[in-house]
Amino acid sequence: METAARHKRLWMEVCTQAIAIGAMIWGLKICLAYIDPYREQREQAKKRAAFLKQQLGRALELNEFEQLLAAQVINPEHIEVEMQDVSGLESIVADLEMKLLYPLMHPHLYRTTLWKQTKGVLLYGPPGTGKTMLAKALAKQSKCFFLNITASSIMSKWLGDANRLVRAVFSLASKLEPCIIFIDEVDAMLGKRGNSSEHEAMLQVKTEFMQLWDGMESSRGQRVVVMGATNRPWMVDEAVLRRFTLMYEIGLPNKAQRKAILLGYLRKHNQEVPNSVAEELIALDRIADMAEGFSGSDLLELCSQAAQGVLAEHLQQQQSADPLPSSGRQSLSMRPLCMADLEGALQHVRPSLHRADEYNKVMASGGGSGGPLSTDMASMLAFLMQQMRG
């Protein structure tokens, strides 16, 4: 009895100590998370930085805040989108190749007052029209690193860290050059200043960003470009708009552009899955007519729904012919996607008109929510609208 009681006390002491050690480790983790809130992000960023060093083939010394942003960097070799995938924007692509890609690829020629590199490009238009895809294709074509920045990636609850992260954006881009700093939804990060509800820290971030942007422009030969995309150009700060020296409206595609986009998606599918698209789809005028108001992403969804319908039909036939996959019977061949599949998909896929309508209405009225535009802003928007028409 005494031995059993002694063993029981011993086990109680062991369990008590184990619980105490576990509580201490748990408390230590909480303290570390409070003292160093970026610890987990920093560990991931260190791995990403090591990967970048390997990809660059040279040493790349990154400070603490550059390491936090390293996870947002995409190597151009890993970008899957190519210029040939961008359909219906041939005139814009040709202009960007001359004014953006050439300076990035031949920086030694663009070091004079008039021959200088473009430091800012704005892509604006309704949602789903391919603005981000075009930016990535440009990075792929020019072999530029793609630094994807959002408002959340540079904001911090710790005093002064947001400004340090903004500085890290430009210092990291300089170390990675050639590099494209891409800001999706630029109106969310660099929107109009002067709002009474805007926090002072965000105002400082915007000011810091523009100052560093100006400093980059004064450094000739540096192959770094700030590229922004927005659905609401009227919400972007006027000082930011002036720094975007190239502006392109990526609008909803017309009939010829819709046909080109559809052909692009179907040809790519036929390359990935040989003989999966019928030859009759070379003539897509009827589908292009029926898809009026569709954006590029809407057309992709249309083709996807049509292709998935063919696959589902094939799987059902296969299941009916051979309920037991292990029987070893030869699988049935899949029929190619035809015009009827696209027409059927049109019954289920609808254009995202409500999002495009908001953009078109505001652009047509010449102003955004919150009252009339200033004269400078109105002229800036007029310039935006005429950029493509000219």
276-315: per-residue pLDDT in tens? 888 776 678 899 999 998 998 999 999 999 999 999 988 8
Give the model's pLDDT for residue 294.
Answer: 92
Q: Where are the domains of the chain?
A: 69-249, 255-319+332-351
Q: What does pTM read for this prediction?
A: 0.74
> What architecture is the 69-249 domain classified under in CATH?
3-Layer(aba) Sandwich (3.40)
Going by C-alpha positions, the residue among 134, 87, 140, 81 that lies closest to residue 299 is 87
Give the model's pLDDT for residue 374.
Answer: 45
Q: Which residues of the chain have pLDDT under 70?
A: 1-8, 27, 29-42, 44-46, 48-49, 51-59, 157-159, 196-198, 217-221, 281-282, 322-332, 353-390
Pick the CATH number of 255-319+332-351 from 1.10.8.60, 1.10.10.10, 3.30.470.20, 2.60.40.10: 1.10.8.60
Give the distance from CA 360 to its chain's centroid: 23
Burial class (CB in 10 A: 0-12, 13-18, 19+), 172: buried
H runs (alpha helix) in the chain: 2-35, 39-56, 64-69, 90-96, 102-105, 131-142, 151-154, 161-176, 186-189, 200-218, 238-243, 255-272, 285-290, 296-321, 339-345, 353-365, 375-389
Identify the residue whose tokens are 């260190």: 46
- The vertex-169 CA angle with 177 and 136, nearest 5°, equals 60
39-81 pLDDT, tens digit each? 666 676 667 667 666 665 556 778 888 888 887 888 888 888 8
